[in-house]
Amino acid sequence: MHLGTKYFLQILKDAVGPCVNSSKFSPTLTIKLYSRMKPQIFFLTKNFRNAYILPSFQGGIQPRRLFSYKDLLKSEQEHWSAFQSNYTRKTERLKQRLETYYEKYSSNLDSLMIRFGEYVYFEEDGCVCRSRLEETVEGNIEVLLCMEDLPFHGFFIQRIRISSDHRYIATGIKSANSEESVSVIVKLNTLPVIEHIIPNVFSFEWATHDILFYTVQKNLQCHEVYLYDFNKKHSELVYTEQDARYFVDLYCTKDKRFLTINSSSKTTSEVWLVDCHHPFKPPVLVQQRTKGVIYHAEHRNNYLYILTTYGDPMGYKLIKAPVDSCCLENWRSIYAVKEKAKLIELEMFKDHCVVFLKYCGHLYIDNISLVSNSIHSVKLPAWACSFELEPHPEYTTSTCYFWLSSPVQPPIRFAYSLVENKLIELTEQEVSIAVNCHAIHLEAKSKGEVWVPITVFHEPNSVELHRKPLLIHVYGAYGTDVNMSFKPENLMLIEDGWILAYCHVRGGGELGLGWHKDGCTTKKHNGIHDLKACINLLHKLGFSQPVYTALASLSAGGVLAGALYNNDPHLIRAMVLQSPFLDVLNTMLDPHLPLTIEEQEEWGNPLVDETCKAYIKSYCPYQNIRPQHYPSLFITVSENDQRIPLEGMLRYICKLRRAVRDHVQAKSADEKGLHMPNIILDVQPGGSHCASSLNQVAVQLAFLYSELGLDMQK
């Protein structure tokens, strides 16, 4: 369902997509550097009911027979295995080409590096290492922790936090096949020694050099905060959240004065302060939670700087309040995000606050001087669609570093001078790829006279665009933008003549908070109307035609894609979904699932509201399957993905195949040569959610090339 974590600024952002669970706010100032390491997302396993009645459908399964879960899974695996041979040659050729692109741009993938004090800490080849700043070039590296030495298999390093005196390093590791996560604390003596291992830890921060605060995750939920005292070798409970809709996270202010306990739902949050000078004192509440108000606190010179949705007009504001009287009546606004602007990121420095925004399809920096209260705005390069901040290692720095990219442009590193308000491109490259790809910004008129943005990419010299293949991307949920970060496979598609279109529909966050509110709960149909309007406009303007059009989405984006698949199947030829959310109604009617209560602020609560239940049923992809002609469909899921249970996916596929069979049987007498869509469920082992291997990307593209009848260029 919901990609990502409940961190405050990740509520503002959002891969996905896939997203990696790592806080932007760390006392050690995490720096994202692009190298060969790939980010991944992984989630918990799930137990399923043993059996249910399976309706008949194509693929070798007999009708009206009681099947166990294992029988269903085995049948789908056999069906896909038999069908996969049709794509073998295309898959291998595409994989070879993709390997070339990934190898060429491998230096632009994520790695983890932290500059703290006189050391640089980093992850390399499954080890946590450090070197002194002056010795980094010489390559003098000290290995602090090696994954091979731990009794955990299939885990990867996710988070690093260093104590203020460099005596301890806490490392968060996560399973690649489940939600299991562990914090390993190493004491940095002459030889590093593992001091303590804490299971089921989601987030953690150092309050002092020997006191670590951490949250415990159970069944995808975080409700408890503990502290561990390394002097007394003792842990104690600090905070408990009683409301199942809320998720608890930790953050340390940039000046390391306070540790904040952040309890957030989808629409409301509450912050408690822990004084790092007196960590055993009870946390102090900043402002009691108010329905519909989200806020997050930073600290500077005995004042809290609070980023919040409180007040009119709708949108985010930066508020200032004294620490000793920080309740709501003392909040004073010093900055407001303009209407229909998307707040991407906010970073605090000693004398500046830097805000990254998206407005009218362009990225901007607003540099707020906390001394003079002046604001300087800088427009970033027009080709940029995606932004990734490198939190600077020093609170007192005068330069902010970040990366810009687009779906067809590898990340380019920039520096921004806070004092001179000057932007500098740092990455050296011969030719900007974005120059060799034509980008167009369109607007489609949707229901209610609303204009919906679309971003289109294609070769600059393409002719007969109506004959070119078109791949449409959509998401439209949780206030999260459709993913427009760089992917090497997009360059291959552009080279092969594809048109790439990104639909910024309501329910996403591209146009700010209001854009999300107009596409959630009882307004989900708006996003569905928007997607249809976007596709119709693209075809009307000559960007491909239905027979050459494919739709792609993942996770919660499957709701809009699946709804269009039911309502307007004639608009597309094929659809590719990854870990899609397709059975909204049954999921939201099951309070025993870990995320159902938490998700009610996005989808509504059909458990108590019959009107809500009827509304969800009106658009739910599973509920609206009916006998008709459907486009071909390729779905990739993980066997043990708790967020998208495989049981529901099997049920969806069964019902869809039965509807296809019934339609073909009813029409076969009248329509000779009726096209039979290919419906494929590729079940991957493990518990990952929306994390693709190179081979999976190749298989999905082979499916699209085959369904659209395309020849390989190379």
Report the chain's C-alpha Rg in angstroms: 25
313: cis peptide before it, omega within 30°? yes
629 is catalytic: no
Mark out the alpha helices in 310-467 (DSSP H runs).
none
636 vs 638: CA distance, rounded Å: 7
- Using DSSP, state whether 261 is helix, strand or coil: strand
474 vs 504: CA distance, rounded Å: 7
183 is catalytic: no
Q: Which string of b and e fits 20-59 if b means at least 16 CB within 10 Å?
A: bbbbbbbbbbbbbbbbebbbbbbbbbbebeeeeebeebeb
Amino acid found at 114: I
401 vs 169: CA distance, rounded Å: 25
- Is there a contact between 584 and 559 (Cβ–Cβ < 8 Å)? yes
580 vs 636: CA distance, rounded Å: 8
**DSSP code of residue 579:** S
Pairing assessment for the beta strands 574-578 and 549-554 based on DSSP bridges: parallel
Q: Dig out the tokens for 10 from the structure.
A: 């990740």
264 vs 245: CA distance, rounded Å: 8
Q: Which of 713, 680, 712, 704 is nearest to 548 (CA)?
A: 704
CA angle 216, 218, 222 (to 5 degrees): 50
- Using DSSP, state whether 516 is helix, strand or coil: helix
553 vs 561: CA distance, rounded Å: 7
Catalytic annotation, pick one of 366, 583, 641, 682: 641
Q: Which string of b and e fits 401-417 if b means at least 16 CB within 10 Å?
A: bbbbbbbbbbbbbbebe
Q: Which of 327, 429, 338 is nearest to 375 (CA)?
A: 338
Catalytic annotation, pick one of 2, 79, 529, 689: 689
DSSP code per residue over 629-679: ---EEEEEEETT-SSS-HHHHHHHHHHHHHHHHHHHHHHTTTSTT-----E
CA angle 447, 449, 455 (to 5 degrees): 80
C-alpha distances in angstroms, 92 versus 196, 688, 712?
Answer: 46, 24, 12
Q: Dig out the tokens for 445 from the structure.
A: 């008129």
Catalytic annotation, pick one of 555, 579, 632, 638: 555
574 vs 629: CA distance, rounded Å: 12
**Those residues with Cβ within 8 angstroms of residue 370's Cβ, 6 or more apart along the chain or in another chain:** 300, 305, 351, 352, 353
563 vs 624: CA distance, rounded Å: 8
**Those residues with Cβ within 8 angstroms of residue 518's Cβ, 6 or more apart along the chain or in another chain:** 450, 506, 507, 526
689 is catalytic: yes
Residue that the structure tokens 């209610």 belong to = 448
CA end-to-end span of the chain: 37
> Other CB atoms closer than 10 Å to residue 245's CB: what's the count?
17
User: What residues are annotated to the active site?
Assistant: 555, 641, 689
